Structure 1
Amino acid sequence: ESLTRDLITWQDEESPGHSPPGSPPAFPDEDLESGQHFRRRAHTFSHPPVRKRISFESQPISQTKQAPLRRQQSVNPELLQTSNNGEGRKRTLSSCSNDSLSGGLPQTPRRVSWRQKIFLRVASPMNKPSTSMQHTDHSDTTELLPLSPHPSEPGLDHLRRLLSPMHDQPSDKRPNRTAADYRALWKTAIHQQILLLRMEKENQRLEASRDELHIRKVKLNYQEVCQCSQEAQALWEKKLTAPGRTTNPQDKEEIYRALCQGVPKSRRGEVWLFLSHQHRLQHRLPQRQQAPDTPYQDLLKQLTAQQHAILVDLGRTFPTHQYFSAQLGAGQLSLYNLLKAYSLLDTEVGYCQGVSFVAGILLLHMSEEQAFDTLKFLMYDLGIRRQYRPDMVSLQIQMYQLSRLLHDYHRDLYTHFEEHEICPSLYAAPWFLTLFASQFPLGFVSRIFDFVLVQGTEVIFKVALCLLSSHEGEIVECDGFESIVDYLKTTLPTLTQAQMEQTIAKVMEMDISKQLHAYEVEYHVLQDEMLESGPPPDDSDRLDRLEKTNVQLKKQNMELLEKLQAARQKIQSLEMSVETFLSRESKMKHMIRSLEQERASYQRTIERMRSCLPPDALTDVEMTQIKTGPNGKAKTAAKKP
């Protein structure tokens, strides 16, 4: 009862008549009846306060049901003070328990006074986590949640469950976990995360592998010439996996026989690297003629003066091939890097349009760095870079050699060309500069590269001679300059599978190395005769010519000296081999003599043992040997006692 009286007195003191400035008028009921409305101002309520008292039903404390009050339903009345009496005494509800407050409260919402509103804005949580005291819809309501443990609105039940503290939930719903359980949960979560990361990495690796296989399939999308047999594949597999394949030289004839049997398309790049390593082991260039030893990655970081020419020719190199057709795609970027690196490496040659086709063929079968190493081998070790020099002297010699081959072996075709004034440079220059890659099918060109890496530029002459000889009848039937050139540039490269295989078979049987060497010497002799038989020049011209001749002679002398040095090194290696064989022979002779002496000592021992035995024992042994069959067993089992 005392609690009821205190609450009623506190409610009366909070009536509108005692409101501070800024609160609604003192008699809101009269204003409501008259139809007037209040103007909303700062620190005012959106509706007038109602003069109402909260009634409590007196119930025994022992009969009330105990229910905890929630934080949003409780107010700390210790901070509330009365303002209308002179004593200014404080009234508190601290002696009231939660059980007595929740006993007979009706489900009627309470109004919030201006003191309560200030308190709710500044109050901090004391015992439990604070929850929201207002609705979440940002409305202008000033009602507190009801004091009843059951909400007055069904929509607030879910919000209360979410905002209620953990210890307000029934204890039977919360699982009891130990430290070991949490440790096991952490281990499981970490293990699952590790598995997810591994699966992501594996998926990335598989995706990269799938892309690589697709690119490799696009690169090798050409019809192979001379299918490789199973025996040849097994032979190449053995050679490519043999230990020391890059350090120990192998028999050149054996390699050439394996090459004639065919090369597997999927491992052609590895075969080319193997052939280049074997050639370098058997034919080491002098230090002056070797390529500069600059890493490929360092060259890519530099700038080249040939960049514009390289970019212009990217779209002209294999424009119909899928790997190089995409503008600035993967193929063109790799081709640009390779051509740029070589133009920086070989400043004398720089960049030539024919080199792009050779580099493109290499990129179809190997990576950039491997293609760069193989390109250096073709240019420096095999001497192909001479035909790309600015003076083009080597290309002129090659054209002369091809004309002499036609003159000696295909006279009718040579005469037909001479009648229509068709020189070899009109049709054969692209064959030599691009190694047939600019006009002929990729399968045929790849097969030509197989032999070029072993025999050098001689293969280009043999292929050109075989192609012209196999189409000699059709070329002779063309009766005009334009028709002949058109046939050589458009019709001749469109070879069938059978024609390509026949051409490769003829190339493997031909040997024109001696003729080519003789024609090269002949060209230099004719060049010297033309210089000597010219009109008498002035002294200045004569001096210039003599200086040029002197420079050429010095170059020839240097080349001869380098060849002589290489020959001497080879002679020294052969002499060392001979010495090794001689020492091995002497060791064998010494072993033979020691074995003969040992044999003689054994024979003497046998003779001494024979002399010690009685004669009858020797006779029995001889009779046993006579009666022994071819299988080493005695024919008769009877023996003398």
Structure 2
Amino acid sequence: MSEYLVVLTQRSIKWSKLLKSKRKVQRNVKLKRYIRKGVPNEHRAMIWMAASGAQEQFEKNPGYYQALLEAQHDPKLVETICIDLNRTFPDNVQFRKTSNPCQQKALYNVLRAYAHHNAAVGYCQGMNFIAGYLLIVTKDEERSFWLMDALLGRILPDYYSPGMVGLKIDQEVLGELVRVKSPRVWKAMVDNNVMWTLVVSRWFICLFIDILPVETVLRIWDCLFYEGSKILFRVALTLIHHHRVLIEQAQSLPDICQIFKQITRGPFVEECHPFMQKIFTEPGSLSIATLTKLRAACRARIISEETK
């Protein structure tokens, strides 16, 4: 941590200089480079809003969030959200009922508003952690709502739809990428009859919350809001590729499940600065065009299997 504090201080000075002369944050190569090296806490909410397009929606729709809160809501939906409130970050002081202010009320509002805004998705488990994480960073209900809209509506479409088609597709895409980039790992998975959904579904649905250390997740989300969902693949491929020998030696399905839990812990992921440098080198090239092509093939395969 002492070494990382030096990095944080240096980044904070550079970010302050970058933002000092700017009225509005513009997407460009320099900003992308800065984001990859980490966004200081004091600028994180603003950069996430600007990088994701959430700021634009926020400015275009004054009063919209408040109108959503005042609308009529399905009692069953409200009940489901209420059940999950106490399950959201129970160890975090901001989400305890005794806290002042307590983020549970804000979390309830964001989830209720989003369910009304995106009726096709409504609310499903996992969304409470995402909304909670956004509230921790932004300390602002409305901004958390618009960031959630950017994530679930544009960056990760269909991850949280009733059929979770987008999530299923991306798990299959990861399998295809591993087959090409780490064929022996892929063979170990096939030989032990391990489905990707068994070992990586929580990685994708929770966007690594409660999987990787907090600071590492924040750094991943910095890039996710700017570069989109391919960041999730970069992180997953780095974890798998870096521990490929361990996975290749697995003798059974329980072995592999245990290894996949093990590889998300320890110094490799705790030292977030070198880890984030590795996600852009270790998996090799990964273009949007490649992902688009693989997603189309996996979508066709999944739909074909579901209609049989």
Normalising by structure 2, what TM-score?
0.84
**Among 518, 525, 548, the residue aligned to 2:293:** 518
- Structure 1 residues 525 and 368, CA gap change in structure 2 (3 angstroms): closer
| Structure 1: gaps spanning 5 or more residues | 1-221, 285-290, 535-641
Whether the 8 Å contact between 2:129 and 2:206 is mirrored in structure 1 is yes
Once residues 511 and 293 of structure 1 are traced to their aligned partners in structure 2, the CA distance between those partners, rounded to angstroms, is 41
Whether the 8 Å contact between 2:110 and 2:141 is mirrored in structure 1 is yes
Once residues 342 and 223 of structure 1 are traced to their aligned partners in structure 2, the CA distance between those partners, rounded to angstroms, is 39
Once residues 97 and 266 of structure 2 are traced to their aligned partners in structure 1, the CA distance between those partners, rounded to angstroms, is 27
1:381 alignment partner, SS class: helix
- Alignment correspondent of 1:313: 84
CA deviation digits over 1:125-144, x for unaligned, max 9? xxxxxxxxxxxxxxxxxxxx
Whether the 8 Å contact between 1:349 and 1:389 is mirrored in structure 2 is yes
- Structure 1 residues 528 and 424, CA gap change in structure 2 (3 angstroms): closer
1:511 alignment partner, SS class: coil
- Structure 1 residues 340 and 495, CA gap change in structure 2 (3 angstroms): farther
**Among 235, 249, 261, the residue aligned to 2:37:** 261
Whether the 8 Å contact between 2:121 and 2:162 is mirrored in structure 1 is yes
2:24 alignment partner, SS class: coil
**Offset at 1:266?**
2.9
CA deviation digits over 1:262-284, x for unaligned, max 9? 2212332222223234x887xx9
- Alignment correspondent of 1:405: 177
Kindly provide the amino acid, as one letter, of the partner of residue 80 in structure 2. Answer: A
- Structure 1 residues 302 and 515, CA gap change in structure 2 (3 angstroms): same
Kindly provide the amino acid, as one letter, of the partner of residue 511 in structure 1. Answer: S
Whether the 8 Å contact between 1:300 and 1:340 is mirrored in structure 2 is yes
- Structure 1 residues 243 and 254, CA gap change in structure 2 (3 angstroms): closer
Once residues 327 and 480 of structure 1 are traced to their aligned partners in structure 2, the CA distance between those partners, rounded to angstroms, is 46
- Structure 1 residues 454 and 226, CA gap change in structure 2 (3 angstroms): farther
The 5 A counterparts of 1:357-506 are 357-366=129-138, 367-382=140-155, 384-489=156-261, 491-496=262-267, 500-506=272-278
Q: Percent identity?
A: 26
Once residues 134 and 86 of structure 2 are traced to their aligned partners in structure 1, the CA distance between those partners, rounded to angstroms, is 17
2:251 alignment partner, SS class: coil
Once residues 2 and 161 of structure 2 are traced to their aligned partners in structure 1, the CA distance between those partners, rounded to angstroms, is 34
**Offset at 1:446?**
0.5
2:158 alignment partner, SS class: helix
- Structure 1 residues 442 and 531, CA gap change in structure 2 (3 angstroms): closer
**1:350 and 2:122 aligned:** yes
Once residues 223 and 338 of structure 1 are traced to their aligned partners in structure 2, the CA distance between those partners, rounded to angstroms, is 36
Once residues 114 and 274 of structure 2 are traced to their aligned partners in structure 1, the CA distance between those partners, rounded to angstroms, is 35
- Structure 1 residues 531 and 395, CA gap change in structure 2 (3 angstroms): closer
**Among 1, 11, 14, the residue aligned to 1:235:** 14
CA deviation digits over 1:475-501, x for unaligned, max 9? 334422223213323x23323266543
**Offset at 1:243?**
4.3
CA deviation digits over 1:420-441, x for unaligned, max 9? 2111111211111111113222
CA deviation digits over 1:577-596, x for unaligned, max 9? xxxxxxxxxxxxxxxxxxxx
Kindly provide the amino acid, as one letter, of the partner of residue 515 in structure 1. Answer: T
1:365 alignment partner, SS class: helix
**Offset at 1:465?**
0.7
- Alignment correspondent of 1:112: none
Whether the 8 Å contact between 2:174 and 2:233 is mirrored in structure 1 is yes
- Alignment correspondent of 1:599: none
1:388 alignment partner, SS class: coil
Once residues 300 and 529 of structure 1 are traced to their aligned partners in structure 2, the CA distance between those partners, rounded to angstroms, is 40
**Offset at 1:233?**
2.1
Once residues 296 and 224 of structure 1 are traced to their aligned partners in structure 2, the CA distance between those partners, rounded to angstroms, is 41
- Alignment correspondent of 1:298: 67
1:274 alignment partner, SS class: helix
Whether the 8 Å contact between 1:228 and 1:264 is mirrored in structure 2 is no
Whether the 8 Å contact between 1:310 and 1:339 is mirrored in structure 2 is yes
- Structure 1 residues 459 and 429, CA gap change in structure 2 (3 angstroms): same
Kindly provide the amino acid, as one letter, of the partner of residue 230 in structure 2. Answer: E
- Alignment correspondent of 1:543: none
**Offset at 1:531?**
9.3
Q: Over aligned residues, Cα RMSD in angstroms? A: 3.1
**Offset at 1:505?**
1.0
Once residues 280 and 248 of structure 2 are traced to their aligned partners in structure 1, the CA distance between those partners, rounded to angstroms, is 26
Whether the 8 Å contact between 1:299 and 1:341 is mirrored in structure 2 is yes
Once residues 450 and 240 of structure 1 are traced to their aligned partners in structure 2, the CA distance between those partners, rounded to angstroms, is 16
| Structure 2: gaps spanning 5 or more residues | none
The 5 A counterparts of 1:576-615 are none
Whether the 8 Å contact between 1:239 and 1:245 is mirrored in structure 2 is no
Whether the 8 Å contact between 2:36 and 2:276 is mirrored in structure 1 is no
Whether the 8 Å contact between 1:223 and 1:442 is mirrored in structure 2 is no
2:209 alignment partner, SS class: coil
**Offset at 1:455?**
0.9
Normalising by structure 1, what TM-score?
0.43
- Alignment correspondent of 2:23: 244
Once residues 494 and 318 of structure 1 are traced to their aligned partners in structure 2, the CA distance between those partners, rounded to angstroms, is 19
Whether the 8 Å contact between 2:151 and 2:225 is mirrored in structure 1 is yes
CA deviation digits over 1:204-233, x for unaligned, max 9? xxxxxxxxxxxxxxxxxx999786455532
Kindly provide the amino acid, as one letter, of the partner of residue 378 in structure 1. Answer: L
Report the structure, 1 or 2, having the larger helix content.
Answer: 2
1:438 alignment partner, SS class: coil
2:159 alignment partner, SS class: helix
Whether the 8 Å contact between 2:152 and 2:159 is mirrored in structure 1 is no
**Offset at 1:527?**
5.8
**Offset at 1:378?**
1.8
- Alignment correspondent of 1:191: none
1:353 alignment partner, SS class: coil
Whether the 8 Å contact between 2:81 and 2:112 is mirrored in structure 1 is yes
Whether the 8 Å contact between 1:226 and 1:262 is mirrored in structure 2 is no
Once residues 306 and 69 of structure 2 are traced to their aligned partners in structure 1, the CA distance between those partners, rounded to angstroms, is 45
Whether the 8 Å contact between 2:37 and 2:273 is mirrored in structure 1 is no
Kindly provide the amino acid, as one letter, of the partner of residue 521 in structure 1. Answer: A
**1:330 and 2:102 aligned:** yes
**Offset at 1:327?**
6.9
Once residues 121 and 273 of structure 2 are traced to their aligned partners in structure 1, the CA distance between those partners, rounded to angstroms, is 34
CA deviation digits over 1:538-593, x for unaligned, max 9? xxxxxxxxxxxxxxxxxxxxxxxxxxxxxxxxxxxxxxxxxxxxxxxxxxxxxxxx
Deviates more, 1:303-312 or 1:359-368: 303-312
Once residues 4 and 149 of structure 2 are traced to their aligned partners in structure 1, the CA distance between those partners, rounded to angstroms, is 26
Larger relative contact order (Cα-Cα within 8 Å, sequence gap ≥ 6): 2
Whether the 8 Å contact between 1:304 and 1:344 is mirrored in structure 2 is yes
